[in-house]
Amino acid sequence: MLNRRNMLRGLMMATAGACGGGFLPGQALAAAAAASGGPKRIIFFLQNQGFDPKTCVPAGMASSGSLAKVQLPEPIRPLERFKERLHIISGLHGKHTSPSHSAFFGALGGYRGGDGVPPSGATIDYELSRALPETLLPHLCIGMDSIENMQTKPTVATLSASGAGQPIFMHSNPNHLYQMLYGGIAEGSIRQQHEARSQVMDRIEWLAEVKGQQLPVDEQRRYGQYVNGFKDANGLRDRLSAVSEHLKKFAPKVDDRYANPEFETDWHDRLLDLGISAVTSGVTNTLTIGSGRGEIFGAWKGLGVDEQGHNLGHMDQPDNPIWVKIRQYNSRMLVRIMEALENTPEGNGSMMDSTLIVYTSNNADKQHTSGANWPVMLLGNCGGIFKSGCFTQLDGTRPINALYTTLLRAAGQSVDCFNMSDHMAKQFDSSTGPLREVLA
């Protein structure tokens, strides 16, 4: 893999040649590596409050089989025209994550999670971001919630982590995220705010580093993480500035719903636009979307849903008009992602040809669950590596960790397990290695 310094140098010297077809050099690397197989980017979409299998498994399908001659259930019907690329999986488990209201970091970490419990290891999205072809921003997380929560807490960390005790924050205010990604190419007040914030951030980084040198050695080590956070943010700004002309092709148009949303779904849609643009422009190779931000909250008043937050988790999902609206909204978002990727050339095809989308919940099948069934939908087959156009019913003896091991294997990592010790595996996994039912 290229290191970031070499990548930035390549970007600055060869942007015009490498980007002639609309790609960053990172995308060109991904396209050139396509012959080796495997995904070049992965998108995780987690809806809170659980994912009842009855809302995704076609009626009458009690065992594994093809989706070709069945109709998808109403909640995921917007995916009907993409069902040849869809793989519905029921029967994985996450009992060891203790999900209850949410597994929090444990949902993508495959370990015990809980409210206020720090991550005990890196999550699968972060590990994949390191295994996939390198990009300017390896991992982007966006979180959707009620408008009040997104305004008062524009960032929150509950789902992704780069290591034990190292959470990754989700962006929930599209104005802030737009400024981070595209402030350098914006005009008017957005550009002025970006430049002012850049000056402040540079100053804070310098002050933090100077002050940190005066601390005892042990405190310096801890304080160093704080300083590195500013260095990473400032470094990203510089890297994005180096490819500003390319980014102009992908930056979403700023409309009134950024500053004056009528409903929270206005911001949900703006956040999705920004996430899609970061993927299609080649800025990132891993996108994590947290609808409900990995907790028990969330609101969808823009869909005509008055209920919000914890109450939604205490409603049965099958045949519930409220949950049909929410799940169909999710499904339309998945369609938007796939259409954008299909319309972006890569190699001899499109970006969707080498992208995998993982849709599930941070809370297994329902609220107050034991985690005995953790349904998952996969979209995309990455050139035939993953099975698609089918439903797979597992026996409930393999954990979500086995799926994550499979994803790492597909990304070229030689691993037999993910975040699971031998002792844990003996208790919670009936086999070893990847989930063979997922691979073609």
- Mean pLDDT score, 396-419: 96
Task: Specify the pLDDT at position 192.
Answer: 56
Task: Specify the pLDDT at position 7.
Answer: 39
State the chain's mean pLDDT as an integer. Answer: 86
The rounded distance, in Å, linking the Cα atoms of 149 and 29 is 39
The answer to which of 12-26, 61-75, 149-163, 320-334 has the lowest mean pLDDT is 12-26
User: What pLDDT digit, counting tens, does each position of 212-222 carry?
Assistant: 566 566 665 55
The rounded distance, in Å, linking the Cα atoms of 59 and 299 is 29
Q: What percent of the chain has pLDDT over 70?
A: 79
Give Cα separations from 99 to 89, 154, 294 (angstroms).
Answer: 19, 25, 11
The answer to which of 59-73, 234-248, 249-263, 282-296 has the lowest mean pLDDT is 234-248
Task: Specify the pLDDT at position 58.
Answer: 97
Q: How many CB atoms lie within 10 A of CB 1?
A: 11
- Angle at 226 (CA atoms; ends 221, 232), nearest 5 degrees: 115
Task: Specify the pLDDT at position 269.
Answer: 98
Give Cα separations from 414 to 383, 409, 434 (angstroms).
Answer: 20, 6, 10
Give me the DSSP letters along 56-97. TSPTT--S-EESTTSPPPGGGGGGGGGGGGEEEEE--B-GGG
Say which residues have a Cβ less than 8 Å from residue 195's Cβ, sequence separation at least 6.
Answer: 183
Q: Is 419 left (phi over 0), alpha (psi -120 to 50) or beta?
A: left
Q: How many CB atoms lie within 10 A of CB 239?
A: 18
How do the domains of the chain map onto residue ranges?
42-50+73-81+103-172+262-373+406-433, 187-250
The token pair that represents 290 in the structure block: 């947290």
What are the start-end ranges of the E strands in 179-310? 286-291
At position 234, the amino acid (one-letter code) is N
- Mean pLDDT score, 209-235: 56
pTM value is 0.86
pLDDT class for 240, splitting at 50, 70, 90? confident
Q: How many CB atoms lie within 10 A of CB 221?
A: 11
Say which residues have a Cβ less than 8 Å from residue 411's Cβ, sequence separation at least 6.
Answer: 38, 39, 42, 128, 131, 132
**When comparing pLDDT for 49 and 28, which is higher?**
49
User: What pLDDT digit, counting tens, does each position of 99-148 carry?
Assistant: 989 999 999 999 999 999 999 999 999 999 999 999 988 899 999 999 99
User: What pLDDT digit, counting tens, does each position of 332-342 carry?
Assistant: 999 999 999 99
Strand partners, 142: 171, 289
Residue 270 clears pLDDT 60, i.e. is over it: yes
Q: What percent of the chain has pLDDT over 90?
A: 73
Residue 367 clears pLDDT 70, i.e. is over it: yes
DSSP H or E segment with residue 139: strand 139-144
